[in-house]
Amino acid sequence: QVHLQESGPGLVKPSETLSLTCTISGGSISNYYWSWIRQPPGKGLEWIGYIYYSGSTNYNPSLKSRVTISVDTSKNQFSLKLTSVTAADTAVYYCARESGGGSYEEWGQGTLVTVSS
């Protein structure tokens, strides 16, 4: 049973960079697409982007100028960097594994990141 776990700072200052890592256990990072999805408190879900294990990426145009998703196959991890954050970036950030072509059957538990000085 694959398990995904997000990690990273829970508090980030405005204008700084949000950095999160998703560690995969119980399975290999190979041959899958891996995504980041976020959910502001009390609101709906927003797809941030995905990375294939080989390194190819696809980002949401609304965030593309500020987002980088990278992969480290040796550590079975992938990461998110979001630059120049504002309060609007406060959200629970989930990592997830694509299945069935773009739906998500495996999710991390989510981590709340608050942007505040």
Check residue 26 for interaction with other proteins (CB under 8 A): no
Indicate the DSSP class of residue 87: G
Closer CB to other proteins, residue 28 or residue 109?
Answer: 109
Complex with other proteins: residue 45 or 73, whichever CB lies closer: 45
Span interacting with other proteins, options 7-15, 21-29, 60-68, 79-87, rule CB under 8 A: 60-68
CA distances to 27, 86, 107 from 55, rounded to whole Å, are: 18, 28, 20
Give dist(CA 57, CA 5) in Å, integer.
Answer: 20
Considering only 54, 65, 100, 117, the residue that binds other proteins (CB under 8 A) is 100
**3-class DSSP assignment, residue 88:** helix
Distances (CA, A) of 13 to 55, 70, 75, 77, 84: 29, 22, 28, 25, 9
Q: Which residues within the stretch 27-56 sit at the binding site for other proteins (CB under 8 A)?
A: 44-47
Q: Does 93 bind other proteins (CB under 8 A)?
A: no
Interacting residue ranges for other proteins, rule: CB under 8 A = 44-47, 58-62, 94, 96, 99-105, 107-110
